[in-house]
Structure 1
Amino acid sequence: MTLLILGLLIFFGSHLVHVLAPGVRATAIARLGLGPWRGLYSLISLAGFVLMIYGFAQARAVTGLLYNPPVAMKHVTLLLMVPAMICLVAGFLPAGRIAVAVKHPQVLAVKIWALAHLLANGETSSVILFLAFLAWGVVLRISLKRRERRGEPVLPVFKSSRYDTMAIVLGLLLYGLMVWRLHEWLIGVSPLPMA
């Protein structure tokens, strides 16, 4: 469990440095330059991510249940993952109506993903992991809303509706791949309910 928590702290600490300590990023870029800062940031984030994954795999083997969700929650999770995948893809494309409507599609995708997985997983390690991602999404959304109020350009600017079509098609394709085999291959658990 220690490695999971350490990985979460490093990963989310690096991803929230601009929120919790905005001057740190500017100071580091001034001292190191933008390229070296990005390299250092990427290495720290990657180290946190690897520790988080490794720690989660270890913790899953030894932690118990906090709650035992009913099988119906797995169906709800499968349903919620459809808009999560579409929003995730929409966040990587130039802005269509979906991105403009939800404002921060990748952040929304992470929040939906985390909430959906909390509904279907009651193991201590899973609850810690998904609550951390949900909390990060909430903190980041609050931070982005504050930046919007200050007039910073954080909102997507509409480009074309064709990106909505692409987001829906690619999001559904990604969803289909995850349900078919990818989730089981990556995580070791089938997302399909047994009952």
Structure 2
Amino acid sequence: MTGWSGFILAFAVFFVSHSLPVRPAVKARIVALIGARGFSLAYSALSVLVLTWLIVAAGRAPYVELWPRQPWQSWVPLVALALASVIVALAIGRPNPLSFGGGRNAAFDPAHPGIVGWVRHPLLVAIGLWAGAHMVPNGDLAHVILFGTFLGFAILGTTLIDRRKRRQMGAQWERLTQTARRVEVTPGGLVRVVVGLGLWGLLLWLHMPVIGVWPLP
């Protein structure tokens, strides 16, 4: 299925695949079958596959130009993706009770918050950087709808999560959000930065065989 129908179908499957499995009753049944770790791995794999399908479907949709392509525009997602990859590497598995994607949240220290001192919702910021930067060189209707939706999700998500966390945590919210902004150079942090840059390189290498577009200017 190609054209707008294929793009609409991919979008529909994307939203269903990201909403149905996380419903409490559905998630509980899946976790009972394959365990919590199995659920996380399966859900992550499904997300990557459906997102790839959605991006490919956007490229096959009818081309309706909103603004022209310029050579300099390719640098915007190239640089933004490097930053987003490092942010993800610095955030994954680190304590962050203020958002999602954290681990060992009880160990969170507002005086030494790491990346959370700069961005409270690092994974949403990474998604926003990826989506907003990709809109620049992809000025056709299908890609603007695609990346604009993800950018809107990232921006709205920060507000919704803040509201929910503030309600759940009460007075503790005010204490934990008084985070220090500092650059702390540690061996573990440097390793994460290297891993983030490695992830960036891997995404660039996979871009052509998976998405079908060469990402470098």
User: Do the structures match in fold with TM over 0.5?
Assistant: yes
- The amino acid that maps onto 1:12 is F
- The amino acid that maps onto 1:176 is G
Q: How well do the aligned residues superpose, as a CA RMSD in angstroms?
A: 3.8
- The amino acid that maps onto 1:35 is A
Partner Cα separation in structure 2 for residue 3 and residue 114 of structure 1: 21
- The yes-or-no answer on 1:145 pairing with 2:162 is yes
How big is the shift at 1:101?
A: 2.8
Asked whether the 8 Å contact 2:7–2:61 carries over to 1, the reply is: no
Partner Cα separation in structure 1 for residue 84 and residue 72 of structure 2: 19
Deviation string 1:14-39 (CA, Å, 9 cap, x unpaired) is 54679xxxxx9345567x48536978
- The amino acid that maps onto 1:5 is I
Partner Cα separation in structure 2 for residue 84 and residue 15 of structure 1: 21
Cα gap change, 1:89/1:4 in structure 2, threshold over 3 Å: closer, same or farther?
Answer: farther
> 2:133 is matched with which residue?
116
| Bigger mean CA deviation after superposition, 129-138 or 1-10 | 1-10
- The yes-or-no answer on 1:90 pairing with 2:90 is yes
- The yes-or-no answer on 1:175 pairing with 2:203 is no
**Count of residues in Structure 1 that have an aligned counterpart in Structure 2:** 185
> 1:21 is matched with which residue?
none
Partner Cα separation in structure 2 for residue 16 and residue 143 of structure 1: 16
Q: Which segments of 5 or more consecutive residues in structure 1 lack a partner in the other structure? A: 19-23
- The amino acid that maps onto 1:103 is R
How big is the shift at 1:109?
A: 0.5
Asked whether the 8 Å contact 2:6–2:61 carries over to 1, the reply is: no
Partner Cα separation in structure 1 for residue 10 and residue 61 of structure 2: 17
1:74-85 equivalent positions in 2, closer than 5 A: 74-85=74-85
Identity %: 28
TM-score by length of 1: 0.71
Deviation string 1:42-94 (CA, Å, 9 cap, x unpaired) is 98887776555435434423421222132222122222222111112223232
1:153-168 equivalent positions in 2, closer than 5 A: 161-168=186-193
> 2:14 is matched with which residue?
11
| Bigger mean CA deviation after superposition, 92-101 or 38-47 | 38-47
- The amino acid that maps onto 2:87 is C
TM-score by length of 2: 0.65
Q: Which segments of 5 or more consecutive residues in structure 2 lack a partner in the other structure? A: 96-112
Asked whether the 8 Å contact 2:85–2:126 carries over to 1, the reply is: yes
**SS of residue in 2 equivalent to 1:120:** coil
- The amino acid that maps onto 1:70 is Q
> 1:184 is matched with which residue?
208
- The yes-or-no answer on 1:63 pairing with 2:51 is no
Asked whether the 8 Å contact 1:84–1:108 carries over to 2, the reply is: yes
- The amino acid that maps onto 2:199 is L
- The amino acid that maps onto 2:139 is G
> 1:2 is matched with which residue?
5
